[in-house]
Structure 1
Amino acid sequence: MRRNIHRAPLAVASALLLGVFATSCSTEDPTDDTSASEAPADSAESPEEGSEETESSEEWFDQEVYDTQYEQRSATFEGNPEQPWLQYIDGEMTDTSKLASKGAKKACFANASISNPWRQTGWITMNQQLEVLVDEGVISEMETRDAGDDDNTQIADIDYFISEGNCDAFIISPNSTAALTDAVERACDTGKPVVVFDRGVETDCATTFIHPIGGFAWGIDTAEYLIDNLEEGDKVIALRILPGVDVLEQRWAAAEKLFEENGIEAVDYFTGADPTKIKTIITDELNKGEVAGVWMDAGDGGVAAIEAFEDFGADYPVMTGEDEMSFLRKWEETGLTGLAPVYSNFQWRTPLLALEKIFAGEEVPKEWVLPQTPITEDERADYLEANEGMPDGHYAKFGGEDLPGYPEVWQERQIP
């Protein structure tokens, strides 16, 4: 999809959801990093060689941000807890009074992709929120250009919007962090509202940057859970999607730090969320000895990881996945000791609601930090019940229950 004006949705075949990622990352590697831990599981390199420590965890670790996100996990959020997509942590606000304007406005959305179930779920929710705002006369249309997980394509998309899109505001979900920075700054230079969400860039010029607490919080939650349920010296396999995306790198940087400090042996692999690679990695590690835990930076592939233990005849590991429905269902079926961290999918509603506030001249958080709370075993049954009938690629905390089309649009994966 290169260009879309909001129109009636079309059903997307369920096969689109098979074999793709369930996280906020790209399906393509946004960097040229060729470090050892990227070696595919089916390459000539053994898993042990493929898991040598990379430099990325050190490059992406920031003690100040780590400490901030550690504290934000227990922060008080402003706003109605029944509308978590509008909640935020109190902090610096952006005065938008000079951006106030009457009448319906055109939004231009430069999206990294909808190439994985996490992004597809969010994209559906975003378009249902758009339908409400169009009906209310807030937004006239949203023109979308999808970059297909390619930095250069997304840069060109943003430059097109600046020169040809006749945009009243820009929404940008960056494909990768460093590469999109200059293009975001060019959008900011137009003087029009710029909303960045999901992944960050290396500039604070946006009117608001919307995201859940972040990757360090995810890494802390998941590593602490594994540490609490394992013994010193136990082995953990860390299954990672790809390098170069801030929220993913930060997840691992935080987890690796805590594993090292607590005597947990962790070996990490980039898998591309390929079920075959995941099973090969785990089988090879089980052939070497006991594996007590599995850590993931995204939930897709979680079922494949569990099945590898079943196929081997090994005891289930202590495991962290995500709030993707296939993991929640397999977790319940097996009864393993687990946790479902969340990178709040409901954030896809927030950029459009932020524009509503901006066009009304209301202040918005400069950094709009949304709640990010894992699903525990005690809560799992409630989320499974609430999302009964949803496909495996759906995300439990999608936050669209009050929008038009619920639940059929999400059940049928109707993607504009």
Structure 2
Amino acid sequence: MEIGAGGELFGKQGGDFLRQELKGKGSVWAFRGVAGVDEETLRYNGFRKSLEGSNIKITQEVFGDWGYAKGKQLCENLVLSGNAVDGIWFSGAEMTRACLDVFKESGKALVPMTGEGNNGFLRAWKATGVKSIAPQFTPGLGAAVVRASVALLEGKPMYRSYFSSPPAIALTDLDKFLRPDLNDAYWLPSTLPEATLKETFKR
């Protein structure tokens, strides 16, 4: 049995957005996750495929380990280097938030940046007005794997594969998905009951 998260689609959704925003040409930076992790590779491959046939070039590529601190350091280095950039693809939203802060602190004009279905990012998106899109990684997959494993051990019939690929959040849906009452650690889409969300992610 296989349970998949649609990593390649995640990367492609962000890449398609940049391709459209940049009208098929320009220079982009790629902020990848943790080197060697399957999900990271799938996201990056999806991003690369979305650029095929365009005149968009990846001029800088770094591994930010999906973290804010490392992402910020890397973004600061790239901004200070003076490298031209028309858009930025991110494998995870913590790195996007970091780069948004770097651009703000340095006084650099924002460029289109991809994000992710995370409440902290959605809040930053709304506050900064950056052109963006937020692919989603289903946080409930871990629990789904456990439930599926138990079901298999109990001899219950199962499908051969399960696949989660929710649509990306566009600007038109931002207010629908942003939860001002919850903190930045809330990830979408969630299968948790509303009462649990409010208790666990109370701002």
Category of TM-score, reference length = shorter chain: 0.7 to 0.9
- 1:69-97, CA deviations, whole angstroms, 9 ceiling, x for partnerless residues? xxxxxxxxxxxxxxxxxxxxxxxxxxxxx
Map of 2:3 onto structure 1? 210
The letter of the residue matching 1:409 is T
Map of 2:13 onto structure 1? 221
Q: Does 1:306 align with 2:97?
A: no
Question: What's the CA shift for 1:263?
Answer: 1.4
Question: What's the CA shift for 1:388?
Answer: 3.5
More helix by share: 2
Question: What's the CA shift for 1:277?
Answer: 4.0
In the alignment, which of 361, 367, 377 is matched to residue 161 of structure 2? 367
Map of 1:397 onto structure 2? 189
Map of 2:112 onto structure 1? 318
CA distance in 1, matches of 2:50, 2:196: 43
CA distance in 2, matches of 1:349, 1:275: 25
Q: Percentage identity across aligned positions? A: 21
CA distance in 2, matches of 1:376, 1:284: 29
CA distance in 2, matches of 1:368, 1:251: 18
Map of 2:202 onto structure 1? 411
Map of 1:12 onto structure 2? none
Structure with larger Rg? 1
CA distance in 2, matches of 1:310, 1:304: 10
Map of 2:64 onto structure 1? 271
Q: Does 1:282 align with 2:75?
A: yes
Structure 2 segments unaligned to the other structure (5+ residues): none
Q: Secondary structure at the match of 2:93?
A: coil
CA distance in 2, matches of 1:245, 1:258: 20
TM-score, length-normalised on structure 2? 0.86
1:239/1:295 contact within 8 Å kept: yes
CA distance in 1, matches of 2:42, 2:146: 27
Question: What's the CA shift for 1:333?
Answer: 0.5
Q: Secondary structure at the match of 1:342?
A: coil
- 1:330–1:397 distance in 2 versus 1, CA, 3 Å: same
Question: What's the CA shift for 1:303?
Answer: 1.4
2:136/2:188 contact within 8 Å kept: no
- 1:38-63, CA deviations, whole angstroms, 9 ceiling, x for partnerless residues? xxxxxxxxxxxxxxxxxxxxxxxxxx
CA distance in 1, matches of 2:83, 2:149: 54
CA distance in 2, matches of 1:284, 1:241: 17
Q: Does 1:336 align with 2:130?
A: yes
TM-score, length-normalised on structure 1? 0.44
CA distance in 2, matches of 1:219, 1:228: 14
Q: Does 1:347 align with 2:136?
A: no
Map of 1:378 onto structure 2? 172
Question: What's the CA shift for 1:300?
Answer: 1.4
Structure 1 segments unaligned to the other structure (5+ residues): 1-207
- 1:361-415, CA deviations, whole angstroms, 9 ceiling, x for partnerless residues? 542111111232211111111111xx3332212203122126x744213438xxx
Which structure 2 residues correspond to residues 212-251 of structure 1 after superposition, within 5 A?
212=5, 214-251=6-43
Q: Secondary structure at the match of 1:364?
A: coil
CA distance in 1, matches of 2:165, 2:66: 26
- 1:233–1:405 distance in 2 versus 1, CA, 3 Å: closer
Equivalent pairs counted in the alignment come to 201
1:231/1:264 contact within 8 Å kept: no
Q: Secondary structure at the match of 2:167?
A: coil
- 1:19-48, CA deviations, whole angstroms, 9 ceiling, x for partnerless residues? xxxxxxxxxxxxxxxxxxxxxxxxxxxxxx
The letter of the residue matching 1:364 is M
2:90/2:115 contact within 8 Å kept: yes
- 1:288–1:259 distance in 2 versus 1, CA, 3 Å: farther
2:138/2:188 contact within 8 Å kept: no
The letter of the residue matching 1:354 is A
- 1:350–1:284 distance in 2 versus 1, CA, 3 Å: closer
Which structure 2 residues correspond to residues 88-237 of structure 1 after superposition, within 5 A?
208-212=1-5, 214-237=6-29
- 1:290–1:410 distance in 2 versus 1, CA, 3 Å: same
CA distance in 2, matches of 1:335, 1:405: 30
